[in-house]
Amino acid sequence: MTEGEERGSGTLLMFAAVVLIGALAAAGIAVAGVWVAIQRVQAAADLVAVSAAAAQAGGQDACVAAGRLARANQVELRDCSIAGDLIDFAVTVTIAAPPGSLPVDFTTRSHAGWVAQ
C-alpha cells in the first residue's frame, strides 16, 4: 500500500466523528427538552392541586378554581375530585400536557388538602 492510497482517510474519519458527535448532541438536547416539559407539567399539577385545596378551604368550588388555574398555566385539567368534608378534605387533580407539546400523551396526578388529625 502506498502513501497515495491512504491520502484523505483522516478527513473521512474526522467527518464521521463530527457527524456522530452532532447526532449525539441533538439526541441529548431532545431528551432534555422532553424532561423539562414533563417537569413543567408536574409542577403545574402541584400548583393546581394546592390552589384548588385553598379554594375549597375558602368555601369556593375547588374544581372551578382548578380549571381556571390549569388554563392559566396552559395545561389541560382532565379530572378533579374532592374527598372528605369541609374540614377534612383532599383535592385530586389529573393534569395533561397540552396537545403537541410532547411526543407522547403525558398526564400526571397531584393531591392536596387539609386533613385534621
Q: Is residue 31 part of a domain?
A: yes
38 vs 102, more confident = 38
CB atoms within 10 A of CB 70: 23
Q: Is residue 2 part of a domain?
A: no
Q: Is residue 1 part of a domain?
A: no
Q: Model confidence over 44-74: pLDDT tens digits? A: 999 999 999 999 888 899 999 999 999 998 8
List the domain range (segments joined by +) for residue 55: 8-114
Q: Is residue 37 part of a domain?
A: yes
Q: Is residue 49 part of a domain?
A: yes
% of the chain exceeding 70 in pLDDT = 94
Q: Is residue 23 part of a domain?
A: yes
Closest CA to 83 of 49, 108, 113: 113
Structural domains counted in the chain: 1
Q: Is residue 3 part of a domain?
A: no
Closest CA to 49 of 80, 3, 84, 71: 80
Please determine, for residue 117, whether its predicted confidence score (pLDDT) is greater than 80: no
Q: Is residue 51 part of a domain?
A: yes
Produce one character per residue of 27-41: b if its CB has 16 or more CB atoms within 10 Å, e if not: eeeeeeeeeebbeeb
